[in-house]
Amino acid sequence: MRFEHARHELVERVLRFKGIRDERVLAAMRKVPRHEFVPEPLLSEAYADYPLPIGHGQTISQPYIVALMTAALELSGGEKVLEVGTGSGYQTAILAELAGRVISIERIAALAEGAREVLRGYKDVTLVTGDGSKGYAEEAPYDAIIVTAAAHRTPPALPAQLAEAGRLVIPVGPPFYQRLLKITKTGGEFREEELEVVSFVPLVEGAG
């Protein structure tokens, strides 16, 4: 009850105010219990609009950024989506509400296990433990790819695994300050636009 109200307030007072317009995304954020994805001592902060630590030096992303990135993927229900950086699994759950199938890859086994536990009710989610900086060729191509860790530059494997008309959303830049990019594949060409300035934990590349 207390959390339902907090979730409603987050959607109606924060996300809408900050410019999130996609009603499907807003509905998903109203539905998914973010408090189940944050560490117990931080429960009271589960619906605040900032990132929270989830252990292993990683964070659960700020709700506004989750909403912004998800809206940019333009999901309408049947898509196959790849997420790089499962972390808590919260973004994964939001994607699962909005797409047909979600494959999410996480390099830290303990986080992948935690996400597996909290996401056990989601049938169309496949969790993979490993390095997602090369994407996940086994299931490619994807209608949408979301990277929730910051890359120095876009790893070439990711746009390469997009389907025609596919969308890739990725923070690119040095630690603490990145440009959130949306890359769209049209007629075999890639168009890039900048959505926001963000601060993500690093994407670890080439470390197995």
Q: Which residues are catalytic?
A: 61
**How far is 63 from 197, CA to CA, in rounded Å?**
15
Report the alpha-carbon angle 42-20-93, nearest 5.
Answer: 50
CB of 27 to ligand SAH, least distance (A): 19
- Tell me phi and psi for residue 15, to 5 degrees: -65, -45
Interaction residues for ligand SAH, span 128-167 (CB under 6 A): 131-133, 148-149
- Given 10, 35, 61, 198, the residue binding ligand SAH (CB under 6 A): 61
- Asked whether 131 and 204 are in contact (CB, 8 A), the reply is yes
Q: Which range, of 8-16, 42-50, 69-77, 197-205, touches ligand SAH by CB under 6 A?
A: 197-205
Cβ contacts of 152 within 8 Å, gap of 6 or more = 172, 173, 174, 205
Continuous segment of H or E residues that includes residue 183? strand 178-186
- Given 85, 114, 166, 173, the residue binding ligand SAH (CB under 6 A): 85
Considering the rule CB under 6 A, would residue 79 count as an interface residue with ligand SAH?
Answer: no
- Given 60, 68, 81, 145, the residue binding ligand SAH (CB under 6 A): 60
Pairing verdict, β 58-60 and 178-186 = unpaired
- Given 68, 84, 99, 162, the residue binding ligand SAH (CB under 6 A): 84
Closer by beta carbon to ligand SAH, 188 or else 201: 201
- Asked whether 99 and 144 are in contact (CB, 8 A), the reply is yes
Q: Which range, of 22-30, 59-67, 136-144, 187-195, touches ligand SAH by CB under 6 A?
A: 59-67
Orientation angle between helical segments 90-98 and 63-72, nearest 10 degrees: 40
Considering the rule CB under 6 A, would residue 58 count as an interface residue with ligand SAH?
Answer: yes
List of residues contacting ligand SAH (CB under 6 A): 58-61, 84-85, 87-88, 90-91, 105-108, 111, 131-133, 148-149, 201, 203-205
